[in-house]
Structure formats: structure tokens, C-alpha cells
Amino acid sequence: MTSHRERNDRRAPFRGPRKGPPSRPASGDGAAWIWGAHAVEAALCNPERAEISAVLATAEKAEIVKSFRRGLTVEIVAGNEIARRLPPGAAHQGMAVMTPPLEGVDLEDLADPPQGVLVMLDQITDPQNVGAIFRSAAALGARGLIVQDRHSPPFGGALCKAAAGAVDRLPAARVVNLARALDRLSDLGWAVVGLSGGAEKPLDEVLDGRPTVLVLGSEGEGMRRLVSEHCDEIGRIPMPGGFESLNVSAAAAIALYEAQRKRP
């Protein structure tokens, strides 16, 4: 089978390492709560989040929160009052901030020059899963994430809590069309590797250390057909224990580890 890469043989020259820019706050009035110690600290330490419309903290945590940003006005309230203002079950750890969600960076800024590993999410909509993937991607040294604008949750709230601050530390691009984004990434020199439980080859056989985009689909449907057709290779995670599949965030962590292990 002729790979998508073989059909797009233009290559961008390698120009050395460059860290991607931080994601930008979304424009407009869509401010939302972020809660939890790591998420609040990362949000307040992110210079791109200039607009902070409210900060809540318990008396025990107020000075800690103030240390994250100079001149911050903190409303000191009881823990149950913080919980009352947040979604049910939010584990706030005594602190919360209201700020617009991050909208992401341009794909070109994130991917040029090609180096390291990018993670693309195809219709993964659960904020907990996306947040956990952010956290694994940051921990395992990924370059950034790519999501489809219409089929991914906003970068705030429960997602930020699950990411433990990684949303404000790892750049992400929101794109209109994933297939077109993969075309551009191939043009820039990225290898595209999809994950599927039904793939013939194990993942470690299709990873070769080149700059790689790892593509993960939703747990129910997997990658959509058009997205999978834009992959150079598709690999599976071997599961000798007999389970049929993994949670997508667990699969992402394993795939990221394998991809980083293959890097020269």
C-alpha cells in the first residue's frame, strides 16, 4: 500500500529545536472556573492569562494563591462556598480562579520545524480523558497537542484539573479539519502514526524515531476513516493480558512512551 507520506514527498529543512508558544486565551466573555492546586497555579503563572475575573481561596490557601501572581486580589471564603460555585463534585483543594479558556496556537507555529512528537485527538470529547492526555504528553516530552475545534472540549474546568497544570504548559492547536492538518504536517516532514486495536503491526514496529504525529481516536469509534487514510502507518498496543482495549488516556501514555523511546 502506498503511504500518505509517499504521496507527499516535499520536506521542510530541519532547523533545530524550538519550543512551541503557549496557548492563547480565547477572546470573548466565555470565562470559566479552573480549580485545584496544580491547575490554579499553572493558570496564574501563565502570562498569556492576563484576564482573571475572580479568585477564590480558603483562609489556609490564600497566601499560597497570592504567591502565584503579584497584586492578585483573592476573595477568602469557606471551602463549601467554593464548592457551591463550582460544578458538582469538583475537587477544588481550597482554590479556584475564573478566566477565559485557552483557544490554542496556530498549527504552523506548533509544528514547524518538525521535531519530537505531536499528539492528535480525533473526536475525543471527554474532558477527563483529554486532560489526562495533556498531562501524559507534558510528562513524556511531547511537542504539543492538536484537536479539532468542533469536536473537543474547551481547555478549562474539569479538563484543566485532570491535566494538573499541563494545559498552561503545553501548547495545543485547534484546527477545523484534521485530514487537512495531516496533509500540512506531512508536507512539513512529520510521520503520521495512528493507533488502532485492529492494526496488523505492533506500535513499536511502526515507530522509527522520526518526528511523529500520534493520532488517537475516540474509545467507541476509533479514528474516523478519512483520518486513518492520512496515516503513514497504523499500529496497535499489544495486550497479552487479554483485555480488548485500554482507556484512551492510558493508550496515549503508552504510545507516547514508545515514541519517545524510539527517538535518537
Whether the pLDDT of residue 13 is over 60: the answer is no
pLDDT exceeds 60 at position 1: no
Q: For residue 22, count other CB atoms closer than 10 A to its CB.
A: 18
What is the number of alpha carbons within 13 Å of residue 254 lying toward its C-beta? 17
Percentage of the chain exceeding pLDDT 90: 76
Cis amide linkage into residue 113, ω under 30° from 0: yes
Q: Point out the least confidently predicted range of 13-22, 43-52, 147-156, 216-225.
A: 13-22
The total number of structural domains in the chain stands at: 2
What pLDDT is recorded for position 242? 67
pTM of the model: 0.85
Kindly compute the dihedral angle of the four CA atoms of residues 84, 89, 91, 97, in this order, to the nearest 10 degrees: -40
80 and 177 fall within a common domain: no
**Per-residue model confidence (pLDDT) at position 93:** 97
Task: Judge if 126 and 202 occupy the same domain.
Answer: yes
What CATH number is given to the structural domain containing 156?
Answer: 3.40.1280.10
More confident residue, 12 or 166: 166
The answer to whether residue 27 scores a pLDDT higher than 50 is no
Q: With 80 as the cut, is the pLDDT of residue 23 above it?
A: no
Domain contains 13: no
Is the confidence at residue 18, as pLDDT, over 50?
no
- Evaluate whether residue 3 is within a structural domain: no
State which residues form the domain around 57. 28-100
Please indicate, yes or no, if residue 19 is contained in any of the structural domains.
no
